[in-house]
Amino acid sequence: MRKRVGKRDGSSGHSNAQTAARVHRKEGSPSRSWLKRGLFGLVIILLVPFSIMMLSDLIQHFVYTHRISVPFFVDLSRPADVSLNHTINMYFTSEEGISLGVWHTVPESQWTEAQGKGLAWYQKSLSDGSPVFIYLHGNTGTSSLGYHVLVPDYRGFGDSTGEPTEAGLTTDALYVYNWVKARSGNSLVVIWGHSLGTGTFLIFSGVFFDGVILEGAFNSAWQNLPVHPFTWYYWKPPGLGYFLQEPWAKNKVVFPTEENLKKMRNPILFLHSEDDHLVPLPIAQQMYEVAVSAQNAERVKLKTFDGSLGYLHNGLYRDPKLPGILKKFVHSL
């Protein structure tokens, strides 16, 4: 019996020790618990801004990779699918990793002969003596005037790869120009920039062009652009504007139009609608005056279109007098 009693006494002592240990742990656990919570909170504070920034980049990467090209359901590599049997699609590598989709339309007099022809035939046709237009943005309709027309897509637009930037557009445009000049022989090469395209070609103030057409030209030094010119490329999740940085915020655009006009020594034709809702007419008139001061009124012309016609910023191609205006300018070169 003593043995059993002694056993209970020992058990009781061991139990008391365990109880004391548990009490000690309970007394010490709050500090360690708060320490863990504090460290966890610090990690969250540090990671949340980084995660939000990375989330924006990941969303953009997903959208860039899987975005749908415009126009919808049109294979831009096959112009014949949209009844352009006199047009060929080409791809230029303006720099490593960048592929530019370019359409080349031949003059109307060659439409029949062009059907079924390959790239070599189109390249050779550039030196046939017909003027060559390099057009940035939109559809010119100048092929019916007897001109070649090359229309490159901006990087990141259509079936061209890459992200649009001011430096990138400048590189792409200069590459296309040099490519054409190397194959056009004695043919005139006219640069036609519309809207954003006017700033792109004006960067080449040290390059002499046979002629330059500036349609709806803007000047970032004299006006606040209503929207970032590359917003069409980006996508922003609805409702997250308070948390995610505008994805185009780091993509700065300058295009010093006025300074470049002062350096240009090329014949220039300004085309502008009086009701242009993005670039007010006074902006175009100011740029025209800068260009005239740098050259003279014989080499620089300004053609305005009545505001009652409703052309706004993108509708000058609808004017029936435009073909005659273009012909007159080309003949003066």
Residue ranges covered by each domain of the chain = 1-66, 79-331
Q: Is the pTM of this model over 0.85?
A: no
pLDDT band at 288 (very low <50, low <70, confident <90, very high): very high
The mean of the pLDDT values for the chain is 76
Tracing tokens 């592929």 back to the chain, one arrives at 99
Q: What is the pLDDT of residue 332?
A: 96
- Residue of higher predicted confidence among 49 and 80: 80
- CATH fold of 79-331 reads Rossmann fold (3.40.50)
Residues 6 or more apart in contact with residue 256 via CB below 8 angstroms: 220, 221
How far apart are the C-alpha atoms of 333 and 299, rounded to whole Å? Answer: 9
Query: In residues, how long is the chain?
Result: 333
Q: Do residues 286 and 222 make contact, with C-beta atoms less than 8 angstroms apart?
A: yes
Q: Do residues 269 and 301 make contact, with C-beta atoms less than 8 angstroms apart?
A: yes
Reply yes or no on whether the pLDDT at 160 is more than 60. yes
Q: What is the pLDDT of residue 302?
A: 97
Tracing tokens 């980084």 back to the chain, one arrives at 50
pLDDT band at 158 (very low <50, low <70, confident <90, very high): confident
How far apart are the C-alpha atoms of 151 and 132, rounded to whole Å? Answer: 11
Q: Indicate if the alpha-carbon torsion angle 162, 166, 169, 175 is positive or negative.
A: negative
Mean per-residue pLDDT, 105-128: 93
Reply yes or no on whether the pLDDT at 229 is more than 80. no
In degrees rounded to 5, what are phi and psi of residue 89?
-100, 135
Q: Tell me which range, 44-58, 210-224, 240-254, is most confidently predicted by mean pLDDT.
A: 210-224
Mean per-residue pLDDT, 287-304: 96
Mean per-residue pLDDT, 289-306: 96
Mean per-residue pLDDT, 218-222: 72
pLDDT band at 46 (very low <50, low <70, confident <90, very high): low
pLDDT band at 154 (very low <50, low <70, confident <90, very high): confident
Q: What is the pLDDT of residue 290?
A: 94
- Residue of higher predicted confidence among 217 and 238: 217
Mean per-residue pLDDT, 283-302: 95
- Judged by average pLDDT, the poorest of 41-50, 106-115, 142-151 is 41-50
- Judged by average pLDDT, the poorest of 6-20, 166-180, 252-266 is 6-20
**118-143 pLDDT per residue, tens:** 999 999 999 999 999 999 863 334 55
Reply yes or no on whether the pLDDT at 16 is more than 80. no
> If DSSP codes are grouped into helix, strand and coil, which group holds residue 95?
strand
Q: What is the pLDDT of residue 71?
A: 56
Mean per-residue pLDDT, 185-207: 80
CA distances from 104 to 21, 81, 145 (A): 86, 15, 15
Q: What is the pLDDT of residue 320?
A: 94
Q: Do residues 186 and 129 make contact, with C-beta atoms less than 8 angstroms apart?
A: yes
Query: Is the backbone peptide bond immediately before 71 cis, with ω within 30 degrees of 0?
Result: yes
- Residue of higher predicted confidence among 117 and 33: 117
Q: What is the pLDDT of residue 155?
A: 82
Positions annotated as catalytic residues are 195, 276, 313
Provide DSSP, 301-320.
EEEEE-GGG--TTT-GGG-T
Q: What is the pLDDT of residue 141?
A: 45
